[in-house]
Amino acid sequence: MIGKTIIRTRYAETDQMGVIYHANYFTWFEIGRTEFFRQLNMDYKDLEAENILLPVIDVGCKYMQSAKYDDELIIQTRLTSLKGVRLEFRYEIIRKSDNVLLAEGYTKHAFVNKELKPVNFKKKMPQVWNLLNQSIE
């Protein structure tokens, strides 16, 4: 499954180079994750209510072209790896007006509880784990 969301860039996200500041792309990836879970009929905030957090442990992003203020962007999100205690997402940021790929990146996460201790997600929530597992691309 490929999660798809559209956002519009904000003035607050620009910098004095006249483009979107690069760190904001990771915020967009996070929006992509939230919407990916929603498309699977899960709410990321429900996972947190179940005492499961997904802190980021490794991220990367390559920037091909700059997003600018007021651009509409398509965020595409895929789950690319799922293990007992880890998962990985990949993302594409695409400018909606002309379908140009602006950036692509990944985030790796651990399943932990609120004390930030690792959780074996497969054991704790086998049904949700299966649902996620079937969505891998």
Residue 124 binding a copy of itself, by CB under 8 A: no
Q: How many CA atoms lie within 13 A of 5 on its CB side?
A: 20
Residue 42 binding a copy of itself, by CB under 8 A: no
Residue 118 binding a copy of itself, by CB under 8 A: no
Residue 50 binding a copy of itself, by CB under 8 A: no
89 burial level (CB within 10 Å; 0-12, 13-18, 19+)? buried
Provide the residue type at 41 as one letter: N
Residue 96 binding a copy of itself, by CB under 8 A: no
Return the residue of 1, 42, 56, 74 that touches a copy of itself, per CB under 8 A: 56
C-alpha to C-alpha distance for 23 and 69, rounded to whole angstroms: 15
Q: Smaller CB distance to a copy of itself: residue 66 or 76?
A: 66
Residue 17 binding a copy of itself, by CB under 8 A: yes
Beta bridge partners of 88: 81, 108
Return the residue of 21, 96, 113, 123 that touches a copy of itself, per CB under 8 A: 21
- DSSP for 68-130, written as a single string: -TT-EEEEEEEEEEE-SSEEEEEEEEEETTTTEEEEEEEEEEE-B-TT--B--HHHH-HHHHH
Q: Smaller CB distance to a copy of itself: residue 50 or 70?
A: 70
Binding positions for a copy of itself, rule: CB under 8 A: 8, 10-12, 14-19, 21-24, 26-27, 30-31, 34, 43-45, 48, 53, 55-63, 66, 69-70, 114, 116
